[in-house]
Chain A
Amino acid sequence: SQQGEEDPQALSIQEGENATMNCSYKTSINNLQWYRQNSGRGLVHLILIRSNEREKHSGRLRVTLDTSKKSSSLLITASRAADTASYFCDINHLTFGTGTRLTIIP
């Protein structure tokens, strides 16, 4: 399969805690992107990491990429209620996994 697989499928944490979700894939990649989807709405681009990069930051987001293990992780620090959403990784371009459903408990 050319799509990524997010893990875990669902995650619930207390507000203020950090949330980590992972994406594994099987093919070689040029880049990997993470998107967020609030319930029943369109996806919003969060961050892109290229195959020659190992880590990237954007605000409270930190993405790592390990091409040898064919995996990426998305860390959201100091979580907020507004972070409640589904998170998808996109392998190369517009090929999505099933997502991680993140719930932040106030």
Chain B
Amino acid sequence: KAGVTQTPRYLIKTRGQQVTLSCSPISGHRSVSWYQQTPGQGLQFLFEYFSETQRNKGNFPGRFSGRQFSNSRSEMNVSTLELGDSALYLCASSFSGIPEAFFGQGTRLTVV
């Protein structure tokens, strides 16, 4: 069974640009969560989607948004990029009612 796939793996963007990251969950998983990981802040929760609905949202500015499609694939978008947005973005999927989550390898975003 294929794992969680995040694309792209690496990305370099310029300040002010926007970026879209993609996450394909494990087949059958309807819950997808996103995290930002930086050396100083650890794992920060961005948002969680379930059946195309945002179920929870972390404390991030409105520049960070996401969505989930009917096939459970999810995207997150960051607009007007700032240097501080440089981070590893992780996506996790889980089966409804099962606490164990499966993570993708992440997308390393560098903003220059």
Q: Do A and B come from one complex?
A: yes
Contact residues of A with B, CB < 8 Å? Answer: 30-31, 33, 35, 40-45, 48, 88, 90, 92-99
- Output the nearest chain A residue to B101 by Cβ-Cβ distance: A94
- Output the nearest chain A residue to B88 by Cβ-Cβ distance: A40
Known A33-B100, A45-B101, A94-B101; contact A40-B106, beta-carbon cutoff 8 A: yes
Please provide the 4 A-B residue pairs with the shortest distance between their CB atoms, ordered closest to farther. Answer: A42-B103, A98-B42, A96-B43, A43-B103
Question: What are 22 inter-chain pairs, A to B, with CB distance below 8 A?
Answer: A30-B99, A31-B99, A33-B99, A33-B100, A42-B90, A42-B92, A42-B105, A42-B106, A43-B101, A45-B101, A48-B99, A88-B43, A90-B101, A92-B99, A93-B99, A93-B101, A94-B101, A96-B42, A96-B43, A96-B45, A97-B42, A98-B43
Contact of B103 among A31, A44, A48 (CB under 8 A): A44
Chain B: residues with Cβ within 8 Å of the partner, total of 21
Question: Which residues of B lie under 8 Å from residue A48 when comparing CB positions?
Answer: 99-100
Is B25 engaged at the interface, CB distance under 8 Å to the other chain? no
In the docked arrangement, what's the CA distance between A97 and B105, Å? 19
Give A22 Cβ to nearest chain B Cβ, in Å: 16
Is B67 engaged at the interface, CB distance under 8 Å to the other chain? no
Which B72-112 residues have a C-beta within 8 angstroms of A?
Answer: 88, 90, 92, 94, 99-106, 108
